[in-house]
Amino acid sequence: MQTLTLIRPDDMHLHLRDGDALRAVLPFTARQMGRAVIMPNLKPPVVSVADALAYQQRIQAALPAGSRFQPLMTLYLTDKTTPALVREAKAAGIVAFKLYPAGATTNSDSGVTDLFKLLPVLQEMAAQQLLFLVHGEVTDPEIDIFDREAVFIERILQPVLAQVPDLKVVFEHITTAEAAQLVMAAGNNVAASVTPQHLLLNRNDLLVGGIRPHHYCLPVLKRENHRRALVAAVTGDKAHKFFLGTDSAPHAQHAKENACGCAGMFSAHAAIELYAEIFERAGALDKLEAFASKNGARFYGLPENSDTITLLKQPQTIMSSIAYGHEKLVPMRAGETVAWTVRYDN
């Protein structure tokens, strides 16, 4: 049987929610990841250092006994964020601020309305070497939803990088050839996280044969040429600029299967297995460890994890649903198979 041993990976973009939902989904990530960058879009959002440290304590309290998993905390950027808060965050061990353009995705109502008014804050982030995590979409209603990432690059990201050239930016969950090209052409201060869904699926998987609500995420799935461009980027000559970030986002089944279903896909149950399938299909299994375990740690200035995990080339059938507090959630690939399985000792 084929086996693949990797330095334990990190998930550099993860949603854990809170309360019963947190307790339901955290064990999946804690079992296979060493660390995860925790997104701050709770209700209410994580906007202060006190908020982040309290949330970190709740995550740690929900960990399975003996877990060595480490949550890396972020703050939610708002129109009211100040340079003083950036300095406070740095001193407290916060790793980044997250940009949600107002109205762009789940729980983004408190997001930024005009990023250019926050240039002093971004300059302080650069000075403090705090990372700037970007949900890269414009929200103008006249812009087609499939074009919002490309327009964001032109209107916002490129001008910001020109005005704050030392800002360390993660272009999160990129979905387009334009985003991949920007990251590859930019300096070493720009990198990107890439999700399993945007490497595996295109918009046909969302729309053909009827709308599939469990494939609805934001940024939305794009054309096949964009999916192929992302696979080429994470396996190509500039692959060191891309890393694992699942954007795993749990939602109750009834909230997805709804007249106005919410955006997000839950992939934490089989994250590294899904990525292994992607890299195997691309003939690049030898590049999976760097993507999953090295590139993100290096960009965040962290040591690589000291232990390993082992994958077996052994198909597994994904459960049809997962208990989610008093509700259920439907995971990515529910009821179907994944080609790889992590070998756990317990």
- Catalytic residue numbers, as ranges: 247
Asked whether residue 131 is marked as a ligand-binding residue, the answer is no
Asked whether residue 166 is marked as a ligand-binding residue, the answer is no
Asked whether residue 41 is marked as a ligand-binding residue, the answer is yes
Asked whether residue 240 is marked as a ligand-binding residue, the answer is no
Do 170 and 189 contact (CB within 8 A), yes or no? no
Q: Identify residue 60 by its one-letter amino acid code.
A: Q
Phi, psi of 90 (to 5 degrees): -60, -45
Asked whether residue 13 is marked as a ligand-binding residue, the answer is yes
Q: Give the CA radius of gyration of the chain.
A: 19
Strand order in the sheet with 308-312: 3-7, 308-312, 341-342
Asked whether residue 269 is marked as a ligand-binding residue, the answer is no
Asked whether residue 218 is marked as a ligand-binding residue, the answer is yes
Asked whether residue 118 is marked as a ligand-binding residue, the answer is no
Asked whether residue 251 is marked as a ligand-binding residue, the answer is yes
In order, the DSSP letters of 42-57 are -SS---SHHHHHHHHH
CA angle 42, 46, 49 (to 5 degrees): 160
In the 8-state DSSP scheme, what is residue 220? P
Rounded distance, CA 346 to CA 333, Å? 24
In the 8-state DSSP scheme, what is residue 277? H
Binding site members for substrate: 15-17, 41, 135, 218, 251, 263
Binding site members for Zn(2+): 13, 15, 98, 135, 173, 247
Binding site members: 13, 15-17, 41, 98, 135, 173, 218, 247, 251, 263
